Amino acid sequence: MTSMDFEQARYNMVEQQIRPWDVLDQDVLDLLYVVPREEFVPEAFKVLAFTDMEIPIGEGEKMWAPRLEARVLQELAVKKSDRVLEVGTGSAYLCALLAHRAAHVYSVEIRPALAAFGKANAARHGLDNVTLAVGDGARGYSQWAPYDVIVLTGSTPLVPQSLLDQLAPGGRLFAVTGDAPIMAARIVTCVAPGAYRTAELFETLLTPLVNAAQPSRFKF
């Protein structure tokens, strides 16, 4: 694809996939033109960078569909003063979008090969307010807590209390919870220390986080 083709595809993505999915925040839409999505997908999938699908990035993981990235960014209303924890760096595209809006993004990836892929992508874009770590963030990452925003890029049957404990007052957590075939995207807001409000957004399906917290299953 030529750079002109990419620009046309990017425009189509915003107007035909993202805006119709209730993403109307102009700052979010503008950002999709600033951070070049095609530079975060594996070389073999560059031509699919703007399609309404999840793109494989190796290790059994996939990039979110573009409309999910944009919608989550809008729903979290990230501010310039926010400290963000991203669980699951993947390609680092969502990390880059978050970094443009936040004070600092801490992103944790459990798979070393994916962490290296994300790190290379982030470095190429000179993101200087991002800290990347190899580790397990399924129950949070206490090293830099508390956070104003927490984003889980994989699903989890339930949101563990340890993650909620790392939210600052006013902090927002995005998670897709439940088990296939029915999962719900939700935002949990810390309204006061130890008090939370949950808003359900939409139904979707996401690959589970590695080591996602499991509910106690009754044994008979």
Establish if 196 belongs to a structural domain.
yes
CA distances in angstroms from 75 to 24, 68, 99, 175, listed in the order given: 11, 10, 16, 12
Top pLDDT among 4 and 27 is at: 27
**pLDDT for 197-207, tens place per residue?**
999 999 999 99
Establish if 212 belongs to a structural domain.
no
* CATH code, domain carrying 148: 3.40.50.150
CA distances in angstroms from 204 to 154, 175, 178, 182, 192, listed in the order given: 11, 11, 10, 7, 29
Establish if 164 belongs to a structural domain.
yes
Establish if 219 belongs to a structural domain.
no
What does 78-137 look like in DSSP terms, one character per residue? Answer: --TT-EEEEE--TTSHHHHHHHHHSSEEEEEES-HHHHHHHHHHHHHTT-TTEEEEES--
Establish if 194 belongs to a structural domain.
yes
Establish if 211 belongs to a structural domain.
no
Q: What is the distance between the alpha carbons of residues 146 and 166, in angstroms, rounded to a whole number? A: 5
Establish if 59 belongs to a structural domain.
yes
Would you give the distance in Å from CA 83 to the centre of its chain? 14
**pLDDT for 141-152, tens place per residue?**
999 999 999 999
CB 150 within 8 A of CB 174: yes
Count of other CB atoms within 10 angstroms of residue 184: 15
**pLDDT for 6-49, tens place per residue?**
999 999 999 999 999 999 999 999 999 999 999 999 999 999 99
Which residue segment(s) compose the domain that 51 sits in? 3-204
Count of structural domains, the chain: 1
- Indicate the pTM of the whole model: 0.95
Establish if 166 belongs to a structural domain.
yes
Q: Output the pLDDT for position 172.
A: 98
Q: Output the pLDDT for position 218.
A: 58
